[in-house]
Amino acid sequence: MKDLDFMARAIELAKKGQLKVQPNPMVGCVIVKNNKIIGEGWHKEYGKDHAEVNAIKNCKKKFGAKKAIKLIAGSSVYVNLEPCSIEKNTPPCSNTLIEHQIKKLFCGTLDPNPKINGRGIKLLKKAGIETNVGLLRDKCKELNRVFFTNQSKSRPYIILKSAQSLDGKIALKSGESNWITNSESRKNSHYIRSRVKGILVGRNTAEQDNPSLTVRLTRDELGLGKNAVIEQPAKIVLGNLKKSKKVSKIFSGNSKIFIGSRQLAKKSKNVEYLQYKKKNFLEEFLKDLLDRNISSILVEGGQKTLNTFIVNNLFDELVLYTAPIFLGKGSKDALNLNSPAAIKTAMRLKMIKLERFKDDTKTTYYNNNL
């Protein structure tokens, strides 16, 4: 096997932590001696052991502690993200690698966290360990788009989602919108919900639709073990929302609830009301959510809320589910944006994936490059 193969394996391992590690990044680690993998691991859950530690434990389990320590000494380690150099929930991984006397380290990217960025590499170099940064860099950065966005923009990673007709409508004039897309599309949208830390809607959507804002997939559908707990994302509402029968589903369950508005700030059980003085407080609200470990958010509408995120250029990804139907004149548009002064000044997105669910199509766009 080649260096690229070992790094590709580290990336595959990292993906296994997708549903459990946020706000931490997904990280995988492979330990190689004489061109053979002697240990591998990944960061499995936020607050638990990092990938490097799990790979060392895996090696010790396979060969026994005494033999493993000898094997790891002089080995090469492949990890998609720079080993951490600060102690938070776990000891610094760079120190652990130095203690085990590895010979070489290959990492895909530096950690974008300014407290770490390059520091782990410097510690390893100082200890006489040969380092190589940049192997499969683009794939490693793509894997952790959420984490890189959190660090560079000081806000959660934002995914805008809309289900629409061929003529760009999201509801009839009467307000009826169930169901524009088919069951397979809706099931896929729940998979997106499972990947984020929060689901956001505007107050009007909350009051009109009384949504549950929960993940309704089984453990098997999510690829989880039979004893795994399905973690429900936080419920987030933009605009003043008070408890009532018409929004009963939002306030049901044990999920955290965050409501951002210009009304009085207060806390009660699992509900936190965040108060803002400015009329346009969206950016400030998002930073406050990141401070509460809401590292990624799925915005599910409605029209006014989606417009607000787009106008303020506060989104990273747009997902459109399109059903093969026409809803016609008078029906509600998915968006209601002002026209740009010229086509060349219009916001342009990058289409990265096109999928099909029976007769529905799902198109995913990126709004920026890392």
pLDDT of residue 68: 96
pLDDT digits (tens, 9 = 90+) for 203-252: 988 888 888 999 988 888 887 777 778 889 999 999 888 877 778 898 88
Is residue 52 flagged as an active site residue?
yes
Tokens of 95: 């120190």
pLDDT at 286 over 80: yes
Q: How far is 50 from 253, CA to CA, in rounded Å?
A: 31
Secondary structure class of 284 (helix, strand, coil):
helix
Burial of 271 (0-12, 13-18, 19+ CB in 10 A): middle
pLDDT of residue 355: 97
Which amino acid is residue 335, in one-letter code?
A: L
**Which pairing describes strands 257-261 and 198-202: parallel, antiparallel, or unpaired?**
unpaired
- Peptide bond between residue 260 and the one before it cis (omega within 30 degrees of 0): no
Q: Which of 13-17, 59-63, 90-94 has the lowest mean pLDDT?
A: 90-94
Residue, of 60 and 270, whose pLDDT is higher: 60
- Asked if 209 and 249 count as a contact pair (C-beta separation under 8 A), the reply is no
pLDDT at 175 over 80: no
Split at pLDDT 50, 70, 90, the class of 370 is: low
pLDDT at 323 over 70: yes
- Catalytic choice (40, 45, 52, 355): 52
pTM as predicted: 0.92
Kindly state the average pLDDT of the residues 48-75. 96
Convert 32-68 to b/e letters by CB count within 10 Å (16 or more is b).
Answer: bbeeebbbbbbbeeeeebbbbbbbbebbbeebeeeeb
pLDDT of residue 253: 83
pLDDT of residue 89: 63
pLDDT at 113 over 70: yes
DSSP state of 231: P
